[in-house]
Every structure is written in C-alpha cells, then in structure tokens.
Amino acid sequence: MRTILSGICLFIATIAFAQRECASPAYIDQLKSVDPSFTAKINEIENFVRRQKTARELEQAAPNVIVIPVVVHVLYKTPAQNISDEQIKSQIDALNRDFRRRNADTSNTPVRFKSLAADVQIEFALATADPKGRATTGIVRKATSVTRWNSDDKIKFSSQGGDDAWDSRYYLNFWVGDLGTLLGYSSQPGTAAEKDGVVINYTAFGTINVNAPYNLGRTATHEVGHWLGLRHIWGESYCGDDFVDDTPKQGNFTTGCPNTFRSSCGNGEMGDMYMNYMDFTNDACMNLFTNGQKQRMLSFFKESGARNLLLSSKGLNKPWLAESPVEMPVKTAFKFYPNPTSGELILDFEYNADWIGKSVSIVNINGTVVSKNQINSKMQQLNLSQLAPGMYFIQAENGMQKLRAKFIKL
C-alpha cells in the first residue's frame, strides 16, 4: 500500500512539473514583437560578442573573479510564498557552486566533456547597499494581491502588484513568486533596464523547501545563464546554433535524467551534452557550463559590453547613506512657563510645529474664554497681565490633538 501511495504522489508531482518549463526564448520573442528596435539591439550585441572572440582578448584576460550584486524581490500572497532568508541564501550558494564549478557532482560530467567544463569565475552576493546607498539585506519582501504570475513582466512593476527593479545596470534582479507550472524566465543582455532580470518560481528557488526534481537551485543557474547571454544548448531550433563553439550540436532539449550516451545532428562520438545547465534535464542531472559558454558570458563584461557596468556597481559596498535622517531633538510634550505667572506666559510648541497657525484660548474656571490668540511662533508669548488673579486653562486644538493645561495667575 505504501508503495502504491508514494507511486501516486510521484505521479502527481510529475504532472505538476511534467517538464522543465523555461519561458526565456518565448519571452525574448515577445519583446522583439512589441519593440522592433530590440532585434537590432540584440544583433548589435552579437556583433560585439563576435569582435571580442576575434580579438582573443578573452583568452588573455586576467582571471579575476567577478562578483555580481544581487537583489531578490519576494512577492507573496500566502505565507509559504514569503520564502525564508535561509532559502534565498541557499540559492546564492548554489549559484556560486555551479558557476565556480565547486558543485559536488562535477564527477558526473562524462569523461569526454571534462576538459571542456569551466569555472566561469563569476560569483553572486546579496547586495549590502541599495541604489541610494542605504543598508540592505539584498532582499525585498512585498505582500501582493496577485495570485499567479506569468512571463508578462507584471512582477517587475510596483504599479502592477510586483516590485520595481533596482537599477539593473548595477544589480542582478531576481523576482520570486508563484509562477504555477512555469519554473522561470530571464531577460538577456540588451533588454530594457526596467525589465532586466530573472524571474523564478518560489517552489524552485534555492535548495530548501523546494520541489524535486528542481530542488538544487539549477533553475536559477540556467536562467542566469540566459541573463548572461547563453542560449539553450540546442539553439532554440532543431540542431540550431547556441553561438558557442565547444558545445556539440544537439537536436532538441532533453528531459528527465538520461544516463546513456545519446547523439543527434551527427555530433558523433561527442554525443549530446544533456548534462549542460542550458538543457532541460532535472537539477540532479546537470553539472556543467563549458569554456565556450564561459567566454560568451564574460564577453558581456568587456568595456562597453552590456554587462560592463556591473563591474563598477556599489551594491556590495558599505552603505554610505544613513538609514534615517538625523533625528530631531526629542520634544515629547507641550511646555509653558512660568507657572504661576504674574503676567507673561511662554508657550513652547517646539515639540510639534503643527500648532503654528492654530489658535490658543485662555479659559477661566467657569469655562468662559477670556483671551484668544493665534499661535504664530514655536515659542509663543502671551501677555496676561490684564487677567484677574485665579486659576485658568490654556486650550488649543489642531485637528489631531487637543491640548488643555492649568495655570495660576498671581
């Protein structure tokens, strides 16, 4: 019975995520269809990438590690969608393992591909300073009334229930929310700044509280690959071009977790590289980026490249702006003096300047107003020398507060 039950559960899980769903190519096609200039921009960027390769500049480049400041916008309607800091950090860790080839499963990379596998030398860190220089955890949490997001970008705009991007020239923006069966989608270099970033389903973000088979943070590894200009390994069409030389041509995407040699498009003894992060296999069955993919990603960081400004981001600096404005001296209550008074009374409204413009009344013990004055200074001076000796009240009202205090006229 137990076997049957777990079999059913597995079946249901399989239906929920029948196949890795990455909407990035469809998303880019959509951007191209609404903005005719976008295609030209993408082509221009491709020419730039090609020039970088021709110059052999990349091979000679100093092997510095690039650290990208990250902000994670968490959009939630249910408590489960408000994922924990721990889950978010588990995703950053997973990205760093995969991009630095420090993942434990590098051993699963087939021998024939081992020499192609790359430490991409890119790392990720939650931002410490926001675009204005204030301290941040790099995590923005926002309740929303939106039940389900899709690849229409609403999640990227506060005006549509989402959350506005931080300046994407200087930060990698992640948006995390409920995407239904969609795992995620990404922009690519050249996308308009306000839409530039990666959207990931909360059920596939990080390695904690996530659903197998997308439970190793590799949806984000894959989508960040797109964000850094990588295409799917099969080149988005049958035996298509992924613009990378060392990845074998491949007929189509691969699902699940194959464990046998496969070949297509006449790729011969190299076979399909279905364990590449840019295929559609399960998280547990992907384990490499290639040197060619690395060079393509790094080329965008070259001078005037589409990701170049990230190198001058202040997002990982110490915050340089105080978190709140310098506090005013604390004035907790209305003061007046001297009491008793022989004639002159000072009313101190320093604690709340809203009183200026309102009127203040002096009321006798019978409730009769004997004097009325407009407050025109934070230190209002009243001349009460004409009042008969006795007990009086100061009364004022400013719409928010009522003020009543007792004093003695000598």
Which residue numbers are catalytic?
223
Nearer to Zn ion, 24 or 173 (CB): 24
22 near Zn ion, judged by CB under 5 A? yes
Number of residues that bind Zn ion (CB under 5 A): 2
Interaction with Zn ion in 285-324: which residues (CB under 5 A)? none
Among candidates 285, 222, 290, which has minimal Cα distance to 258?
A: 285
Q: How far is CA 165 from CA 119, 154, 200, in A?
A: 29, 11, 15
Least distance in Å: CB of 154 to Zn ion?
A: 20
Give me the residue whose beta carbon is nearest to Zn ion: 22
Nearer to Zn ion, 91 or 341 (CB): 91
Among the candidate windows 17-25, 303-311, 326-334, 401-409, which touches Zn ion by CB under 5 A? 17-25
Nearer to Zn ion, 94 or 360 (CB): 94
Name the burial class of residue 182, with classes exposed (0-12), middle (13-18) and buried (19+) by CB atoms within 10 angstroms of its CB.
buried
Among the candidate windows 21-29, 73-81, 248-256, 318-326, which touches Zn ion by CB under 5 A? 21-29
Query: 187: alpha, beta or left, given left = phi > 0 and alpha = psi -120 to 50?
Result: beta
Q: What is the DSSP letter of 121?
A: -
Among the candidate windows 19-27, 36-44, 87-95, 237-245, which touches Zn ion by CB under 5 A? 19-27
Three-class DSSP category at 352: coil
198 near Zn ion, judged by CB under 5 A? no
342 in Cβ contact with 385 (< 8 Å) = yes
Nearer to Zn ion, 162 or 225 (CB): 225
Query: 180: alpha, beta or left, given left = phi > 0 and alpha = psi -120 to 50?
Result: left
Least distance in Å: CB of 225 to Zn ion?
A: 7
Least distance in Å: CB of 171 to Zn ion?
A: 21
Least distance in Å: CB of 285 to Zn ion?
A: 15
298 in Cβ contact with 305 (< 8 Å) = no
183 in Cβ contact with 282 (< 8 Å) = no
Least distance in Å: CB of 231 to Zn ion?
A: 8
Among the candidate windows 2-10, 22-30, 32-40, 102-110, which touches Zn ion by CB under 5 A? 22-30
Nearer to Zn ion, 24 or 103 (CB): 24
Selected from 24, 203, 250, 295, the binder of Zn ion by CB under 5 A is 24
221 near Zn ion, judged by CB under 5 A? no
Q: What is the DSSP letter of 165?
A: P
> Please, what sign has the CA dihedral across residues 96, 99, 100, 106?
positive
Return the structure tokens found at 135: 């301290």
CB neighbours (10 Å) of residue 324? 7
Binding site for Zn ion (CB under 5 A): 22, 24
